[in-house]
Amino acid sequence: MNIVLHLPYHEALARERALLGETPHDPELKWMLWQTPPCIVVPRSHANYHNFEQAIAASEARGWPVFLRDTGGGAVVQGPDVNNLSMRFSADATGHDRIGSAYRLLCQPLIAMLATRGITGHYQAVSGSMCDGIYNVVVADRKLAGTAQRWKALGRDHPGEYAVLAHFAMFLSLDHDIAAQAINALYADMAMESGVQAPTHINWIEIDPTARADLVDWVAHQLNGQCVRLRNRPS
């Protein structure tokens, strides 16, 4: 069974928004695994940058259409060599390190996948990586996945409670030279420095080089199985 949704980016974004907006009092962990055609995704704030419209037109002419997302950070590449996991859960905003706790919950399935291969994944910023952040999932000091999250208050009937939509994009077999060139060219057209460097990233096939014709679906099934275990774990 194919459990990866293949969606245009605007539909993937709409599904994430719908997931975040589901029944407020439903505490169950929910998730979706998805991919899009090749594109570059940037924070909505980038629309205010110098020469933005001309820059995205030039990027599309190079084969990289640009879309806006709801979370912050920098530009990221999407496409058939990237698997995305979006996860929705409830959280208490009064807890200690609530942002870090949300990221660690999101990344547990991927960290568990790595552990089954005797590999310890950890979190750190990686200078020169696309959309760098302190909760990158990193192997051998190279970025395997990038993360983001959004919080939504559940309203007066649930004071202090939030729905969280957390997301990671995981590199499977991405050509990071081409990806870095695409992002750097986009920023250059907006008269901004980017400095994305291909060697700062790592693909899953470098970690698990076993040849698989069904790599996308295989990784998705592994992630899905770990999500099921996480959902069924005693609280």
User: Is-contact 180 199, C-beta < 8 A?
Assistant: no
For the chain, what is the domain count?
1
Q: What is the pLDDT of residues 3-47, one digit of tens each?
A: 999 999 999 999 999 999 876 666 789 999 999 999 999 999 999
Q: What is the pLDDT of residues 160-218, one digit of tens each?
A: 778 899 999 999 999 999 999 999 999 999 999 999 999 999 999 999 887 677 899 99
Cα 109 to chain center, whole Å?
13
**Whole-number pLDDT of residue 90:** 87
3-state SS assignment for residue 230: helix
Cα 138 to Cα 229: distance, rounded to the nearest angstrom: 22
**Whole-number pLDDT of residue 49:** 92
Residue 92 pLDDT exceeds 90: no
Predicted model pTM: 0.94
Q: If you search the block for the tokens 């991927």, which residue do you land on?
A: 110
Average pLDDT, the chain: 93
CATH of the domain at 141: 3.30.930.10
The model's confidence at residue 124, banded by pLDDT at 50, 70 and 90, is very high
Cα 227 to Cα 29: distance, rounded to the nearest angstrom: 9
Which domain covers residue 189, as residue numbers? 4-232
